[in-house]
Amino acid sequence: MERKNQNPIIQWIVKTKILGILFFVVIGAFVIYALGQALTNNPSLFLQQVVNGLQLGFVYALIALGYTMIYGIVRLINFAHGDVFMVGAFTSFFTISRFNLHLWFQNLFPSFPAMPAQIIGAITVVLASMAICALLAFTIEKIAYKPLREAPRISALITAIGISFFLEYFGALNFVFTPNYITYKRPFEVKSWFIGPSGFGTIESGVTSPSNSIIFSNIFVIIVLASLSLLLVLQYIVKRTKIGKAMRAVAYDKPTARLMGINSDAVISITFALGAALAGAAGVLYAIAYPQVYFTMGIIPGMKAFVAAVVGGIGSIPGAFIGALIMGQAETLSAAYISTPMRDAIAFSLLVIVLLIRPKGIMGEIASEKV
Amino acid sequence: MMLEVEKINVYYGAIHALSDLSFGVNEGEIVALIGANGAGKSTSLKTISGLLHPRDGSIRFLEEEISQTSAEEVVRKGIIHVPEGRKIFAPLTVLENLEMGAFLQTDKGQIECDMRNVFERFPRLKERQNQPGGTLSGGEQQMLAIARGLMSHPKLMLLDEPSMGLAPVLVEQIFEIIREINKQGTSILLVEQNAKMALSIADRAYVLETGNIVLQGNAREVMENPSVIQAYLGG
Ligand SMILES: Nc1ncnc2c1ncn2[C@@H]1O[C@H](COP(=O)(O)OP(=O)(O)OP(=O)(O)O)[C@@H](O)[C@H]1O
Ligand SMILES: [Mg+2]
């Protein structure tokens, strides 16, 4: 045993963790000051970064939801989740480029107005990727994770890493996704608008938009709407439906849930499928926004979404969403104002900072339940 | 017999928790299972409800072998296990906890009717129906655990220490409720530390010691047995 320091001031400092709090207050104040400066110096540049960050954050949110749901129910960090996202992106690449799935409605009803027909086509593409990813995760869970349900947690974790490598390098085979970077064909034309002091308008190709305005595209609108509506659907499922309530019961106490007649294995499978479907949708949206697909494209977004889920409080659905929006902002703002190569380092150090202040993450109370 | 446990052996890894254990419950009975800490009472209930499976021996419920049946299926057959320590789903509301109890019920109208009956029996739960289960007091949680069990229309209810940690008035109340549930046609297997209370409402009783039945008979006989008085009734 070490001798306890009796000095009341030192004791007080230790007890209240005042130094740490002070440190973060100073950093926080500085960040807020710097952002305020950035906003006043060049509002349009700043707001443009916020828009870009939102676009990224809403995609991360969809991936992070899967991490958090799966962790919540089986206490597993599913490292293969980012690769499921990749499979979602590739699925849409094939459905669009090979099968013209995005055009099925237009082809079937040529006289139908073009815009809604395009929307229906794009939604079909997203749904197809979601279904394939759900099926994939369902299979992975049955084959790889279920046999390890009663094994020590580290076994399942290592298996998840193995599955992740398998999906990547199986994907890299020439008759699967190939090891190449592939240009992605969007299921619709990109349209951009500007908004600013000089008003609102469409950006025509070859014409520069007025200075001091913020540019956003239909991709941004689609990502935000899709992500929000999927979040609402998920929230509805988890809060209101019988299966959602069963998910929460199993997450909280599996043996007791089984005593109620809940088939916990089925509930866990459904949770994996649901999380993977969201990752699949994220894969499509990500490929639409940054139109290139390749077999390792899931690693970095997967990592970022994982950090987002932890920052938000792993196990918490609103937490994952908030964490993802923060990650998106951290990434674009640090790219714009600090340095582009540093942006990932800064985004990840956010993890360290948040966990130092709140080890359970921003919304992490729920995660404190016993396992 | 409604439930017949015959010579079951249950292990936790190398630990032999129940050895050649046999007992049973007749239709309409309250049967008490008493014994010291670690005797294997909870293990017996978990084995009946399918959370554990015996290595050998048989468990028959309404003439059907259920010793290897999964927990979910056992509920479907009409056995509900109200576990030790209440095991309320703390983040779920009282109402949601009850809905989970009715998980296998498919008739919505029937569920609503059951819900009304439960609220009539436990008015406190009605007041708190939208509150997370974890915020209820110990006594209220025990009421909720029993109520949740009733939602599955059990033919046989396994109760593991329903009086644990409750004030004497509440204990009386809980035992009164158990008796009522039994009168309405549900058979009951009751595990208790509070042997006196348990024996006072039971028809028959078994005394369990380190995984074995050492004494059995109708409740009055067991209550008057000198070794039981010595060991469990503080005589
Ligand atoms: N999960 C487990 N792993 C290993 N041994 C266990 C486990 N659960 C119970 N045991 C052991 O099995 C024996 C019986 O336990 P059980 O919980 O059935 O006792 P009990 O009669 O319910 O006791 P109490 O009155 O304290 O609840 C004990 O020796 C206990 O240590
Ligand atoms: Mg016990």
Q: Two tokens at B224? A: 């008057």
- What is the rounded CA–CA span in Å between residue B33 and residue B222? 11
Verify whether ligand 1 is closer than 6 Å to residue B42 (CB atom): yes
What residues contact residue A319 under an 8 Å CB cut-off, 6+ apart? A68, A309, A311, A312, A313, A361, A362, A363, A364
Verify whether ligand 1 is closer than 6 Å to residue B43 (CB atom): yes
Per-residue model confidence (pLDDT) at position A5 = 66
Per-residue model confidence (pLDDT) at position A229 = 95
**For the domain that residue A108 is a member of, what is the CATH number?**
1.10.3470
Structural domain boundaries enclosing A299:
21-357
**What DSSP state is assigned to residue A180?**
S
Choose between A358 and B225: higher pLDDT. Answer: B225
C-alpha angle with apex B25: B19 to B26, nearest 5 degrees?
Answer: 150
Per-residue model confidence (pLDDT) at position A3 = 60
Q: Establish if A161 belongs to a structural domain.
A: yes
Q: Two tokens at A369? A: 């339940």
- What is the rounded CA–CA span in Å between residue B99 and residue B152? 10
Question: In what helix (H) or strand (E) does residue A249 lie, and over which residues does it extend?
Answer: helix A242-252
Is ipTM strictly over 0.90? yes
Q: Establish if A268 belongs to a structural domain.
A: yes
- Render pLDDT for A326-366 as a digit per residue (tens, 0 to 9): 999 999 998 988 888 888 888 888 888 888 878 888 887 64
User: Å from B96 to nearest chain A CA?
Assistant: 7
Verify whether ligand 1 is closer than 6 Å to residue B106 (CB atom): no
- Render pLDDT for A210-228 as a digit per residue (tens, 0 to 9): 778 899 999 999 999 999 9
- What is the rounded CA–CA span in Å between residue A352 and residue B195? 54
Paired with B59 in beta bridges are B5
Mean pLDDT in residue range B199-215: 94
Question: Which regions of chain A are under pLDDT 50?
Answer: 1, 366-371
Between the alpha carbon of residue A83 and those of residues A88, A161, A162, A170, B227, the distances in Å are: 9, 10, 11, 11, 65
Is it the case that residue B129 has pLDDT exceeding 80? yes
- Between the CA of B1 and the centroid of ligand 2 the distance, in Å, is 25
3-state secondary structure of A211: coil
What pTM was estimated for this model as a whole?
A: 0.91
Per-residue model confidence (pLDDT) at position A9 = 84
A263 neighbourhood in chain B, CB within 8 Å = 72
Q: Establish if A104 belongs to a structural domain.
A: yes
Per-residue model confidence (pLDDT) at position A212 = 83
A235-272 in b/e burial notation, b at 16+ Cβ within 10 A? Answer: eebbeeeeebbbbbbbbbbbbbbbbbbbbbbebbbbbb
pLDDT band for position B210 (50/70/90)? very high
Nearest to B91 among A252, A262, A263 (CB): A252
A369 neighbourhood in chain B, CB within 8 Å = 90-91
**What DSSP state is assigned to residue B11?**
E
Q: Establish if A286 belongs to a structural domain.
A: yes
Per-residue model confidence (pLDDT) at position A2 = 53
Q: Establish if A7 belongs to a structural domain.
A: no
Number of CB pairs, chain A paired with chain B, less than 8 A apart: 64
Q: Which residue CA neighbors atom 24 of ligand 1 most closely?
A: B37
Verify whether ligand 1 is closer than 6 Å to residue B39 (CB atom): yes
Report CA A56 to chain centroid distance, whole Å: 9
- Between the CA of A23 and the centroid of ligand 2 the distance, in Å, is 50
- Total domain count, chain A: 1
Mean pLDDT in residue range B70-78: 97
**Closest to A331 (Cα-Cα) out of A60, A80, A65:** A60
- Determine contact, residues A71/A263, Cβ cutoff 8 Å: no
Per-residue model confidence (pLDDT) at position A361 = 87
C-alpha angle with apex A223: A222 to A228, nearest 5 degrees?
Answer: 100
- Determine contact, residues B133/B97, Cβ cutoff 8 Å: yes
